[in-house]
Amino acid sequence: MKIAISGKGGVGKTLLAALLSKIFVESGYSVLAIDADPDANLAATLGFPNPEKITPISEMKALIEERTGVQSGQVGSFFKLNPKVDDLPEKYSVRYDGIKLMVMGRVKKGGSGCYCPENAMLQTLLAHLLVARNEVVILDMEAGIEHLGRGTAKAVDKLIVVVEPGRRSIETAYAINKLAQDIGLSNIAVVGNKLRSQSEKEFLISSLPDFEFLGFIPYDQAIVDADLANVPVVDSSQQVINEVRNIYQALLPAQVQAEQTK
Amino acid sequence: MKIAISGKGGVGKTLLAALLSKIFVESGYSVLAIDADPDANLAATLGFPNPEKITPISEMKALIEERTGVQSGQVGSFFKLNPKVDDLPEKYSVRYDGIKLMVMGRVKKGGSGCYCPENAMLQTLLAHLLVARNEVVILDMEAGIEHLGRGTAKAVDKLIVVVEPGRRSIETAYAINKLAQDIGLSNIAVVGNKLRSQSEKEFLISSLPDFEFLGFIPYDQAIVDADLANVPVVDSSQQVINEVRNIYQALLPAQVQAEQTK
């Protein structure tokens, strides 16, 4: 199963990706988590030791040059649009608590040109991870999902858009929905996060009338406090974990759900 | 004066950019606000009517082709790295309540290639707006500030990094600080946002010991409620406005501050 998680910055994509990764692993699945949001830190959220020591793929200059044939930062050169990437997941993923993780890193937008070799590498790698892998793949990504591309998007079983009570996050959900249609990705669902009241929940439902809601995660100050105290946020709120367990159940294929209730 | 505002997604960059724009205009300055964060909506936050009808520069395909010599989405072509942009601010900015606004839009990262003409156009335009304009320029931008480039960065009088009580926003502040040093931008200051308690304020101060703090904005549910009720958030919280006024004062050059207290 391939699950991509998107949404406006700050809505809680990374926490949902981390909790789903843990719950799938606990349920016996093999999980590959992918941090594809340069503004997030899935490793730290998952409690990986020394997350700052994980080198993102985009910063492996020698590797990118070897595979694309072009040095990072070179402008106007021709490079391989489909570099070899199939060996990278085993070589460059890190593992902790049963979860395999790959950190994609930031593609520099550049002062004077386009750094396309990194881009070609990351996109090909992302396509490989989503299309060719046989495990549960959980992709934490930014709101700009268009770099998934048509072929890759078809491999995504569910695109979860996280929203919070706020108009900007709703607007981003609609923008993501449009981009998703453009690349042929139609299995979209929404998760509401950081809810403080029934009226905030109703706001989300009425703002997104044509969307399927997978769940509603309450706001819990315990998450913020755990983060500030530098203890793992994934273990800090039982009510949040319980709700993400429900979301996990809703994600399982119908036949698995039927077997569980036998 | 040129002020750039950056920070992790969701920390409140756009609200600070909007409030500072309003306060500078009220104080008699001519203000150009630039929305350079594809995940934000500065027009809506500023209360512009019909913000969804503003076409971002990155989507003006005919203009981009005219100026760069290359069609949007074309891969591997040569295009002008320094397209003509000096006439664009007057032609393509929108105005409301005394504030001039330009919306840069999203640069597509592309499924199969790099869409560099848009990138070259936006970067040249950003450089022009920051370097050549004679007004207060307030730039709402994403955490990836590296596309400012060395020459442009020098024109920025103050880079404000917004942080909230949360480790990820602190990490982003350090990452931005490093990127800023790389491009020669050293006038950095921090604003704490969404503070619920004294201990959260102390967390920020102790987490960023070597940074200058311009101010601390309290969390106010009135901001969230105003947003959900679709009334202008910039007018919804007097305590937030008051604190941003203090930040505005701290931004003024020393000689202006001295004259005010005469």
* Statement: residue B110 has pLDDT above 60: no
Higher pLDDT, A137 or A75: A137
> How far is the C-alpha of B194 from the C-alpha of B248, rounded, in Å?
18
How far is A257 from chain B, CA to nearest CA, in Å? 35
H or E, element range at B255? helix B254-260
Span A57-62, mean pLDDT? Answer: 86
- List, for residues A195-227, the tens digit of each pLDDT value: 999 999 999 999 999 999 999 999 999 999 999
Span B94-102, mean pLDDT? Answer: 96
Q: With CA atoms as reference, report the closest residue to A60 among A103, A95, A110.
A: A103
Span B128-135, mean pLDDT? Answer: 87
Q: Which residues pair with B139 in a beta bridge?
A: B4, B34
Higher pLDDT, B107 or B14: B14
Sequence letter at residue A80: K
Pick from B76, B111, B119: CB nearest A150:
B111
Chain B contact for A142 (CB, 8 A cutoff): yes
Span A45-72, mean pLDDT? Answer: 87
- List, for residues A163-188, the tens digit of each pLDDT value: 999 999 999 999 999 989 888 888 99
pLDDT score for A113: 39
pLDDT score for A111: 36
Residues of A within 8 A of B167 (CB-CB) are 44, 227-228, 230
pLDDT score for B73: 57
> How far is the C-alpha of B225 from the C-alpha of A2, rounded, in Å?
36
pLDDT score for A78: 66
**Which of B64-68, B197-201, B240-244 comes out lowest in average pLDDT?**
B64-68
Name the average pLDDT for chain A: 88
Chain B contact for A154 (CB, 8 A cutoff): no
What SS3 class is residue A191? strand
Instruction: End-to-end CA distance of chain B: give it in Å, rounded.
Output: 22
- List, for residues A11-40, the tens digit of each pLDDT value: 999 999 999 999 999 999 999 999 998 888
* Statement: residue B77 has pLDDT above 50: yes
How far is A254 from chain B, CA to nearest CA, in Å? 32
Name the average pLDDT for chain B: 88
* Statement: residue A109 has pLDDT above 70: no
pLDDT score for A112: 33
* Distance (Å) of CA A201 to CA A158, A194, B127: 22, 10, 42
CB atoms inside a 10 Å sphere around CB B82: 14
* Distance (Å) of CA A239 to CA A5, A162, A234: 21, 18, 11
Token pair, residue B228, equals 């959900």
Token pair, residue B78, equals 């040569």
What SS3 class is residue B71? coil
Chain B contact for A146 (CB, 8 A cutoff): yes
pLDDT score for B108: 55
Phi/psi at B250 (5° precision): -70, -20
pLDDT score for A39: 81
Residues of A within 8 A of B123 (CB-CB) are 109, 111
- List, for residues B178-204, the tens digit of each pLDDT value: 989 888 888 999 999 999 999 999 999
Sequence letter at residue A201: K
Token pair, residue B22, equals 């309003």
- List, for residues B11-61, the tens digit of each pLDDT value: 999 999 999 999 999 999 999 999 998 888 999 999 999 998 999 998 888
Residues of B within 8 A of A148 (CB-CB) are 111
Query: What percent of chain B clears pLDDT 90, i.e. is strictly above it?
Result: 59
Size of interface A-B (CB pairs under 8 A): 127
Q: With CA atoms as reference, report the closest residue to B187 among B244, B246, B134, B251.
A: B251
Chain B contact for A150 (CB, 8 A cutoff): yes
* Statement: residue A242 has pLDDT above 70: yes
Q: With CA atoms as reference, report the closest residue to B122 among B37, B188, B40.
A: B37
Query: What percent of chain A clears pLDDT 70, i.e. is strictly above it?
Result: 91
Pick from A39, A146, A165: CB nearest B111:
A146
How far is B259 from chain A, CA to nearest CA, in Å? 39
How far is A226 from chain B, CA to nearest CA, in Å? 9
pTM: 0.87
Helix ranges restricted to H, A133-165: 149-153
Higher pLDDT, A7 or A126: A7
CB B14 within 8 A of CB B193: no
Span A236-243, mean pLDDT? Answer: 97
Name residue, tokens 């040059």.
A65
